[in-house]
Amino acid sequence: MKKKQAILLSSALLTMSILSACSSGSNQGNTGSTAVTTSAAPAATQVDAKPVNLKFYTWDNETNQVARQKMIDAFQAKYPNIKVQNISLVPGNSVESMKKMDVLMSSGEEVDVLEYGNIDETLARAAAGVLAPLDEFYAKGNVKPEEDYYINPKVNGKYYATMLTSSPYFVLINEDALKEANLSLPSFDWTWDDFRDYAKKLSKGEGNDKRYGAYFHTWGEYTNLIAYSDLKSPYLTSDLKPGFNDPSFAYFFNLRRAMEKDDKSVKPLADVVGAKLSYITEYLNGKAAMLATAPFMLDNVMNKEKYPHTFKSVIAPLPRASKSGEQGITNIGGSYVSVASNSKHKQEAYDFIRYMTTEQEARLELSGYKKADPKAIVDRLYGKAADIIDVTSLQTTIFDKRIKTNFDPAISVSYGNQLKAVLEKGFSKFMLDNTTAEEAQKWMMDESDKIAKQNAK
């Protein structure tokens, strides 16, 4: 790798925030259903072409590796001259895998294809020069990215990744707890104030045996889910200025404090951080009745061997900001695949990521490809777990015509991961240091302004 690229990437590493293990971040996508289309993949390479070996870096766990290998096998049957090696750096952990990937690339390791857990991380690497632009490959294949993918990460007008998965947020609820509290499954008209009321009614018991009404994890998304769904950017205004002075931050910060301090319906943030709690076990062990999450959580729900439980999970839409707020607005996360700038086989690497994002038969997640049939994927993935996942409420929630996000991928910067870290630290100051929401917002505005100026140099 060029020395300049390595220096830029090392600088990005120093400011990397702790991010969602699966994708969370500021992503979007319409989840409307259309026919499955596999013809979008590029035409097969000639059998007598020179053999090529591709290194594909992921964080696949054992289950994902099996499914991914089926896709790789199908790709290799179509492209017999290309062999793909799936290298899972830290299985099941996208955060540590991305860090390890950065170190490998900074040391000059040859890489061909990379998977990233969210748009902020993808843009940071594109700006650091470690990803190859895809424009020439799109042009050659007559691909119009906006017509094919929900989100298209761009830096300086160039495309740097294709969207592999789409992951709309919803609220997972313990049906037994819901019935016990004599509460109905929330619909699209419920608000965050209603969510707070439900959490109070779903809370039960005391001490170590207490079941909290809801659980909030440490990721930036949970500090203000309204910002990630209703705003065009959770960090920026339309003119790319820091946006942490938006009123939604004060509202959601104060909501979180009231639920923790006054209602005692959510586990204290200090306990979540201090004990390094897992959102998976807190929900599946029955310690929390509600969890705002996305489809990546459903694999854990189905894994009864690792997370034994008998209750069924029902699915409700993410609450709206207010009684007058638009229904169906949500945060839609996703993962992305890119071609490494130091790859010696960029065309073949592009052929592979194009195939992976358009082929649907062996997928384990909802697709970032607009022409896929997400309902068929949901039936295939979760229909067998109808005893513990209410597939009907899942389908009616994530495929409702009202589901959308206001996030605008054009309002993004390469240092978005740094701004997310500011949000997480600002919220921690508010909750743990007992500052006011306004004081926390001022600190976040000042810090993000410094970061913007540093990146402008």
- pLDDT category at 28 given cuts 50, 70, 90 is very low
Can you tell me the distance from the alpha carbon of 376 to that of 380, in angstroms, rounded to the nearest whole number? 6
- pLDDT category at 296 given cuts 50, 70, 90 is confident
- pLDDT category at 121 given cuts 50, 70, 90 is confident
Percent of the chain surpassing pLDDT 70: 89
Give residues with Cβ within 8 angstroms of 445, minimum separation 6: 242, 244, 245
- pLDDT category at 42 given cuts 50, 70, 90 is low
- pLDDT category at 127 given cuts 50, 70, 90 is confident
Q: SS3 of 369, please?
A: strand
Report pLDDT for 65. 87
Give residues with Cβ within 8 angstroms of 53, minimum separation 6: 82, 83, 84, 85
Instruction: Supply angle C-alpha 333, 397, 195, rounded to 5.
Output: 85
Q: Copy the structure tokens of residue 213.
A: 């009404």
Give residues with Cβ within 8 angstroms of 315, minimum separation 6: 170, 171, 172, 173, 390, 393, 394, 397, 398
Report residue 314 CA to chain centroid gap.
21
Can you tell me the distance from the alpha carbon of 394 to that of 404, in angstroms, rounded to the nearest whole number? 15
- pLDDT category at 347 given cuts 50, 70, 90 is very high
pLDDT top residue among 133 and 360: 133
Tell me: pLDDT of 173 over 70. Answer: yes
Can you tell me the distance from the alpha carbon of 32 to that of 25, in angstroms, rounded to the nearest whole number? 21
Q: How does the average pLDDT of the chain come out, rounded? A: 87
pLDDT top residue among 20 and 164: 164
Q: Which of 177-181, 247-251, 297-301, 364-368 shows the lowest per-residue confidence on average (mean pLDDT)?
A: 364-368
Closest by CA position to 332, among listed 15, 32, 13, 61: 32
Contact between 191 and 321 under an 8 Å Cβ cutoff? The reply is yes
Tell me: pLDDT of 212 over 80. Answer: yes
Question: What is the mean pLDDT of the segment spanning 185-196?
Answer: 98
pLDDT top residue among 313 and 208: 313
Per the confidence metrics, is the pTM higher than 0.85?
A: no
Can you tell me the distance from the alpha carbon of 410 to that of 237, in angstroms, rounded to the nearest whole number? 11
Q: Copy the structure tokens of residue 156.
A: 């300086």
Sign of the C-alpha dihedral computed for residues 176, 304, 365 and 373 taken in this order: negative
pLDDT top residue among 426 and 106: 426
- Residue 313: beta bridge partners? 174, 389
First vs last Cα of the chain: how many Å apart? 23
Question: What is the mean pLDDT of the segment spanning 170-183?
Answer: 98
Tell me: pLDDT of 76 over 80. Answer: yes
Question: What is the mean pLDDT of the segment spanning 361-388?
Answer: 86
pLDDT top residue among 387 and 366: 387
Q: Copy the structure tokens of residue 27.
A: 């992503």
Q: Exposed/middle/buried for 230, CB within 10 Å: 0-12, 13-18, 19+?
A: buried
Tens digit of pLDDT for each residue in 237-282?
999 999 999 999 999 999 999 999 999 999 999 999 999 999 999 9
Can you tell me the distance from the alpha carbon of 452 to that of 99, in angstroms, rounded to the nearest whole number? 23
Percent of the chain surpassing pLDDT 90: 67
